Structure 1
């Protein structure tokens, strides 16, 4: 089992990312724990994230 985070939406692993790409990953922490989003999914859902909408609405 890998210690590298995976995107909670698309399942992409951060393992193959370059150093610059790895910095673009986003974390979201709530009562259920920490969720990771890859740069592509974070860009797609940036308004939902900034609006603090529950992940169920994304």
Structure 2
């Protein structure tokens, strides 16, 4: 199965730069893995931070 950005549809298999591959974000929601490409992850960083548990911020 090809990993695809949940926001824009870009595929990880289309990326040739190893550093860019590392910048992809995987999130797990209701037992399902979803990927965000670096551009979509940057654009939606507040949404990602909002999903972190409260304990994360008190460390």
Normalising by the residue count of structure 2, what TM-score does the alignment of the two structures yield?
0.77
Structure 1 alignment gaps of length 5 or more: 54-58
How many residue pairs get matched? 51
Structure (1 or 2) with the larger CA radius of gyration: 2
Structure 2 alignment gaps of length 5 or more: 53-59
Q: Report the Cα distance in structure 2 between the residues aligned to 1:52 and 1:41, rounded to whole angstroms.
A: 16
**Tell me, what secondary structure is at the counterpart of 2:20?**
helix
Normalising by the residue count of structure 1, what TM-score does the alignment of the two structures yield?
0.78
* Superposition deviation, residue 32 in structure 1: 4.7
Does 2:9 align with 1:15? Answer: no
